[in-house]
Structure 1
């Protein structure tokens, strides 16, 4: 089964630019760096990679789960360094039924979010870094047909679906929430079009039998690679990697996530 987002690889127009932002502002540790690629480790279980490319960048939406007890501190520290995005009412922090969030952008225009849920059980995962990040919670996946895409993910990957409508749904495995949306939809809070980005998502999975199940169910024409680095396949224009990790299989239940089995 899928337990979490273990990695994400994005494009950038400037390695130095992302270094200044993700290391200089967000204080993400750097694990590897070259002239054309840089790898950050926001948490022990997740790596964020940027590859420099001479091409237009379609912005990605990412949401990092922050411990509720750390959110106010994260807000103060971040707002001292950069401008947070405003909602139509002029506020930069949004409080919803189960928590709170704030949005901001990096130099490539990627739409980033820090979100904290009041009902998330603390003490299960140790908060990482300056901002108390627990894990990458959300990755936006704009597609032309979100209903077909989420059903494909449910049937092939065994994921659950929440908050579904014609143009939006969370497709969930463990702590990983893929935000499957229509390319005609706009990202809040600044009504930014949900363009299709170039990226590779690595899902952390609990065991080889799950990977075998995916492998046997896939159309062979969708498989890109199958080696020690995991099974990589195409899914609605995205590169998806399945990699076995030691992340707890029951993490969703231990964190008291509503999608826990």
Structure 2
């Protein structure tokens, strides 16, 4: 599964545009007064100005980077003044069951942003790390009231399988290339422990079916296009 396009709301529109365009170095594909489209490799991130001033939102978004570039990505982030999240063991997080390593940081809206290197991918890169090595958006977090019910609807309507998780508190739907991270809204996010927040999002995926699915009182609009 591939995440082709992700639209999120932002309460700091100008700061968010500047962060993704200038600090992360991702090109602007399209710009309007209340929305901007950022090109992130094979995916687009659309920042939509919040309808109401101060409207709260919080997202978890992951970008895939080459399998061998996590160390280089850390240095690149430091050079750009991006402060990585750290716990008592450091700022790099290993996922044994996923065969992956990741680092985390926050954008101006305090969204939890992740760079993840999947070691099952044959995508090693010898060149210096740049924004061009943000290969695509590979995860979007979807906090819900009932994980089991959401999983069933995603499986039935979109044809996506559960790649990882227990299906009750956590379910990663799709595959390593693209995942809908369905979590119980009372389950803290890893690794920073913050409570998830239901925040409206529109997700366009390339998957197994051509269907539309609305979840969590229509907060999540998922459009699937058959590959």
Specify if TM > 0.5: yes
Question: 1:74, 1:15 → 2: CA distance?
Answer: 25
Residue-by-residue CA offset, 1:88-117 (whole Å, 9 max, x unaligned): x15111233223110001011110000102
Question: 2:129, 2:141 → 1: CA distance?
Answer: 23
Residue-by-residue CA offset, 1:194-232 (whole Å, 9 max, x unaligned): 1101111111247xxx32xx4xxxxxxxxxxxxxxxxx5
Residue in 1 aligned with 2:160?
159
Residue in 1 aligned with 2:34?
36
Unaligned runs of 5+ in 2: none
Residue in 2 aligned with 1:256?
none
User: Does 2:73 correspond to 1:57?
Assistant: no
Unaligned runs of 5+ in 1: 215-231, 250-261
TM-score (norm 1): 0.76
Contact kept in structure 2, 1:74 and 1:130, CA below 8 Å = no
C-alpha change, 1:93 and 1:132, in structure 2 (3 Å) is same
SS in 1 for 2:18: helix
| Matches for 1:136-151 after TM superposition, within 5 Å | 136-151=137-152
Residue in 2 aligned with 1:13?
11
Question: 1:33, 1:149 → 2: CA distance?
Answer: 33
Residue-by-residue CA offset, 1:73-97 (whole Å, 9 max, x unaligned): 111010231111112x151112332
CA RMSD of superposed structures (Å): 2.2
The number of residue pairs the alignment matches comes to 217
TM-score (norm 2): 0.87
Residue in 1 aligned with 2:121?
120
Task: Tell which structure's C-alpha radius of gyration is larger.
Answer: 1
